[in-house]
Structure 1
Amino acid sequence: MKFWLSVSFLLFSMTNLAGQLIDKEKLLDYYETQRYAEAAQYLQNIYPEDTKNVKALTQMAYCYMMSGKLPEAEKNYLKVNAIESKNIPVLFSLANINSRRGNTAKSKMYLMEIIELDSLNFSAYKQLAGLGDTPEVKLKYLRKANSLHTTDPDVAYDLSMVYREQKQYQKAYDILQRAIAADRDNFTLQQAQLPLANQLGKYKEVIETGEKLMKENTDVNVINEMGQAYFYLKDYQKCATLFKTLEDLGVHNEGTLYFMALSYRELKEYNKAAEYAKKTIDEGISDHTALYYTALAGIYEQKNQFSDALEAYKRGLTFNTSSTIYYRLGLLYDFNLKQPKNAVIYYNLYLKNKPDPEKEKEQISYAKTRITSLTNPKEVSLK
């Protein structure tokens, strides 16, 4: 309905502007079939390039924008802006065009102009928040937008997430509560509120809201929050049952397995408790942990913090046997710590770990050479 009213208004305006020059039926057909590029070109052919007619320029700019021809849209909106510099809808369009083109600085500039003209413009603050390049800037504009429209779901959600990251759980919860009060069927906001309610000890509320949400859609995040709430309410059987559901779905993690271990312990099912305690440990160890420690040790070496590098390499070995770490330890003991006996030990461990003979041909050869050199220094020197 709104679309047809807009089209009717557009045709009426354009007819008044151009008299008998505009073919109303043709233009209407362009709009009905959403052929905005053809509509823009049609209007462009009717009006001269240097026209100062604001309504004509605005409609051409709009058609170009709707057709995705953003440079042409911006060109026409800029003409309007030059004639009417305080036209807020035009400034919004220019901000939108530049945002879509990735020109954040220009988009911000137009939005700031809008705020100068209207310091209570909710949409401008909301868009500025989305363009914020730091958490502080984003928070500033979200707070302002939320103060102007406390029930806007998008702003309430984004602002609550910022507060949640800052561990300001009560603020985050209250912001969502106001928005939810205005829209009791907004399940996105209710789901976002669940972890906050858990943090605030509102466990019965988590269960009640979670059960309502589960009737609409089975969501693993809701199950996770409900499982935690049951644990803190000391209903360990329901906690274990819910988290077993996640395990069966293959979406368990270190945290859910940990809660299962604790729940089975409280239920005095010690075999299961031990089983899930081991699973928790395994889940907490990544296949890449040794690699991460290798990278950390390398950084320490670059900083000449050799004792820290040694500790990081050895910590990596507790997670996984790694020929790379053995080799790096050999080099570290050899050249930086000046401990030839330990260097030989790790060079040998490197070779015993069966490194790839093709990919590590040079390292293998070098390790063998250093072992010979460090084991028989006199013999090497005579040669």
Structure 2
Amino acid sequence: MNKFIFLLLLFAATTAEAQTSALAVADSLYAVGNYSEAIKLLEKSETKSEAVLLKLAQAQKANGNLNAALHNYQGVLESNPNRVLTTVEYGKLLSSTGKLEMADSIFTHLMKKYPINAEFHYQLGLIREKRKDSTAMKHYNLAVLINRTHQQALIKVSKNVLVKGKVSRAERLAKQGLEVNPANIALLSILAQAYYYQKEYKQAIVEFEKLVDLGHGSEFVHTKIGTAYFHLENYEKAIANFNSALNYEEENHATHYSLGKLYALMGEYKNSEGHLLQAILLKDVILDEEFTSLGLTYKYSDEPKKAMEYFNKALAENPDNERAMFERAVVADSYFKDLETRMNYFQAYLKRFGETGSPNLLLLAQYRVKDLREEIHMNPAAK
């Protein structure tokens, strides 16, 4: 063999070996998260082969040098445009850096070339969604049509139909994805909500509690479980879950309000009072419902003076609160000795709500006015 050719081959072999060694070391550095050192090593490589540029782009992307990574992906694709996986990575990076038009072009090309690839439709859907393009959902649906268990596309589609009130379809789609990944947190949440909004409270509780078991409890999750138990009249478990909700957001007005009402139902009026007062302190808008609930708590605790005070506060906040005006009359009936005073409260209720009030409450008020009138007539001294 010619000596020159021999030396040339030896040099090529040495160079290839050095490049292979550099890639192996860079791989090791990349694997342990030492991206900066991997980048330095690869940038020193004399031969910028596709393998080196790809590894360099991956390390730069991981290290946050996104423009440099884009430049190197582009370099690889200019020399070899048929590298599909590299094209996908390049398109995703373009999308994440806000270069949406270029990313759209790349995934549109891939989608046309590979029309039954669900992932390409999904990625195009993500880009179109960022661009506020109404065709995004079409591509998510196509991804699910091609691959019925595509997890991310199923999340997008099932969430969309849930928001639109198509809860039975949301249920079906969520179950579809959970067949292959029973621990998909987003799909479990969508399924639980679908059951909840269909008033299938027992099934909703099962799915929400799976989220808790998987370490994804939240104020939202425990509130929904608590409300579901309330509808099932399991007040103890409802209270336990609303208290758990407070662990995530202790100053949530609505949670304190729910606990106040639940404790009242359980006859625990001191606890009810505490939570309702807390709800009032935390709420900065109209408080008539909270005042009404607190009035009822004092009514059931045989504290009519306080009950009257809070029913009056409720009516000051909202004169159209029928329940507060009726309950105020009921409390006045037991609190005041003067029969005409007691009757006046019922008459005030009838005057205000005679045309629009609850038929049952109106009937009770009318009967009581009639009884009081007879009592006054029979015993004028008791006026």
User: TM-score, normalization: structure 2?
Assistant: 0.61
Tell me whether 1:70 sits opposite 2:89 in the alignment.
no
Tell me whether 1:124 sits opposite 2:156 in the alignment.
no
CA 1:112–1:19: 2 relative to 1, 3 Å: same
The equivalent of 1:239 in structure 2 is 272
Equivalent residues in 2 for 1:1-383 (5 A)?
4=30, 19=49, 23=53, 27=57, 30-48=60-78, 51-104=81-134, 106-132=135-161, 135-137=164-166, 139-146=168-175, 148-149=177-178, 151-161=183-193, 164-165=196-197, 167-183=199-215, 185-186=217-218, 188-215=220-247, 217-220=249-252, 221-251=254-284, 253-285=287-319
Q: 2-side partners of 1:285 and 1:6: how far apart?
A: 68
The alpha-carbon deviation at position 178 of structure 1 amounts to: 4.1
3-state SS, counterpart of residue 49 of structure 2: helix
Q: 2-side partners of 1:21 and 1:265: how far apart?
A: 79
The alpha-carbon deviation at position 48 of structure 1 amounts to: 3.2
> Is the Cα contact below 8 Å between 1:35 and 1:67 reproduced in 2?
no
The alpha-carbon deviation at position 205 of structure 1 amounts to: 0.9
Q: Name the aligned partner's letter for residue 58 of structure 1.
A: V
Q: Name the aligned partner's letter for residue 123 of structure 1.
A: Q
The equivalent of 2:42 in structure 1 is none
CA 1:195–1:110: 2 relative to 1, 3 Å: same
Equivalenced residue count is 279
Q: Name the aligned partner's letter for residue 44 of structure 1.
A: Q
Q: Name the aligned partner's letter for residue 316 of structure 2.
A: D
The alpha-carbon deviation at position 211 of structure 1 amounts to: 3.5
User: TM-score, normalization: structure 1?
Assistant: 0.61
> 271-280 or 108-117, which moves further after superposition?
108-117
Q: Name the aligned partner's letter for residue 204 of structure 2.
A: A
The equivalent of 2:342 in structure 1 is none
Q: Name the aligned partner's letter for residue 76 of structure 1.
A: I
> 92-101 or 25-34, which moves further after superposition?
25-34
The alpha-carbon deviation at position 5 of structure 1 amounts to: 5.4
Q: 2-side partners of 1:202 and 1:281: how far apart?
A: 32
Q: 2-side partners of 1:50 and 1:33: how far apart?
A: 25
Structure 1 residues 115-150: Cα deviation after superposition (integer angstroms, max 9, x where no partner) = 222223343222112333973445413432145426
> Is the Cα contact below 8 Å between 1:194 and 1:225 reproduced in 2?
no
The alpha-carbon deviation at position 69 of structure 1 amounts to: 0.6
The alpha-carbon deviation at position 22 of structure 1 amounts to: 5.0
Structure 1 residues 2-45: Cα deviation after superposition (integer angstroms, max 9, x where no partner) = x955999xx9xxx9xx8358546753563244232342234324
> Is the Cα contact below 8 Å between 1:131 and 1:138 reproduced in 2?
no
3-state SS, counterpart of residue 81 of structure 2: coil
The alpha-carbon deviation at position 96 of structure 1 amounts to: 0.9
3-state SS, counterpart of residue 131 of structure 1: helix
- Sequence identity, in percent? 13
Rg bigger for which structure? 2
CA 1:248–1:81: 2 relative to 1, 3 Å: closer
Q: 1-side partners of 2:139 and 2:216: how far apart?
A: 35
> Is the Cα contact below 8 Å between 1:228 and 1:239 reproduced in 2?
yes
The alpha-carbon deviation at position 274 of structure 1 amounts to: 0.8
The unaligned stretches of length 5 or more in structure 1 are 287-317, 319-383
The alpha-carbon deviation at position 65 of structure 1 amounts to: 1.3
3-state SS, counterpart of residue 193 of structure 1: helix
> Is the Cα contact below 8 Å between 1:206 and 1:225 reproduced in 2?
no
3-state SS, counterpart of residue 132 of structure 1: helix
Q: Name the aligned partner's letter for residue 125 of structure 1.
A: L
3-state SS, counterpart of residue 115 of structure 2: coil
> Is the Cα contact below 8 Å between 1:64 and 1:70 reproduced in 2?
yes
The alpha-carbon deviation at position 97 of structure 1 amounts to: 0.8
> Is the Cα contact below 8 Å between 1:153 and 1:189 reproduced in 2?
no
Q: Name the aligned partner's letter for residue 289 of structure 2.
A: G
